[in-house]
Amino acid sequence: MLHEAAEEVLDELTERYIVDRRESKEPAGPAPGAEVVRTVRLMPRSPAAGPLSVAFTDPGIVLRIGRWFFEPLPACGCDDCAEDPAALVDDLRVRVIAHVEGGLWERVRRGVTGSWLDIRLIGPGVRATRHTPIDAAEARAARREGFAAAVQWAPWSRRP
């Protein structure tokens, strides 16, 4: 059910917004040795708007938006957790809508003990904040590429 819903969301976004759609096989997550799966990436033609990708895993998906927002749905694929598929579809749609409407904000900040990644996703039905440590090499790369300062991704441009 989640795979079908993700396909529908990707198709809707491709029809409504000015984006390039690419499909490939990529690792499902940032961890070394992550499973290689089918991944669909939507790249807005405006460089100020953030990308979105969905990796189709077993049993769910991995949603990536912007540069660092990464969320597996379901969070845990075990039978004991038994997350509600309808709720997962709602979570997917809410996060995607917030991002497409310009509700994703990301930055790298330096702290006494190292660098931290701050992410905020705000939109109708979602208000998520994350603070996670980031390794020194990734922090340096972010500063070189202009991502150390706060970046609020722009809304996606609609098709005429």
pLDDT value for 79: 60
Q: Structure tokens of 102? A: 């310009």
What pTM value is reported for the model? 0.87
| The pLDDT of residue 109 is above 70 | yes
pLDDT value for 49: 97
What is the distance between the alpha carbons of residues 125 and 55, in angstroms, rounded to a whole number? 23
Whole domain around residue 93: which residue ranges?
2-100
Are residues 122 and 94 both part of a single domain? no
Domain-embedded: residue 148: yes
Cα–Cα nearest to 99, from 117, 78, 124? 124
Domain-embedded: residue 85: yes
Q: How confident is the model at residue 98 (pLDDT cuts 50, 70, 90)?
A: very high
Look at strands 151-152 and 52-56 and give their pairing: unpaired
For residue 147, which amino acid is it?
F
Domain C-terminal end among 100, 117, 139: 100
Paired strand residues for 119: 106, 130
Q: How confident is the model at residue 52 (pLDDT cuts 50, 70, 90)?
A: very high
What is the distance between the alpha carbons of residues 33 and 138, in angstroms, rounded to a whole number? 19
Average pLDDT score over the chain: 89
Are residues 45 and 13 both part of a single domain? yes
Are residues 81 and 122 both part of a single domain? no
Quick: pLDDT tens for 125-141.
999 999 999 988 888 88
What is the distance between the alpha carbons of residues 128 and 132, in angstroms, rounded to a whole number? 13
Paired strand residues for 120: 105, 129
Are residues 6 and 85 both part of a single domain? yes
Cα–Cα nearest to 132, from 41, 82, 67? 67
What is the distance between the alpha carbons of residues 10 and 5, in angstroms, rounded to a whole number? 9
Are residues 28 and 73 both part of a single domain? yes
What is the distance between the alpha carbons of residues 113 and 91, in angstroms, rounded to a whole number? 33
Backbone angles phi, psi at 141, to 5 degrees: -60, -40
Which one-letter DSSP state was computed for residue 102? Answer: T
The tally of domains found in the chain comes to: 2
Are residues 123 and 96 both part of a single domain? no
Are residues 53 and 117 both part of a single domain? no
Q: How confident is the model at residue 81 (pLDDT cuts 50, 70, 90)?
A: low
| The pLDDT of residue 147 is above 80 | no
Which one-letter DSSP state was computed for residue 75? Answer: S
Are residues 143 and 74 both part of a single domain? no
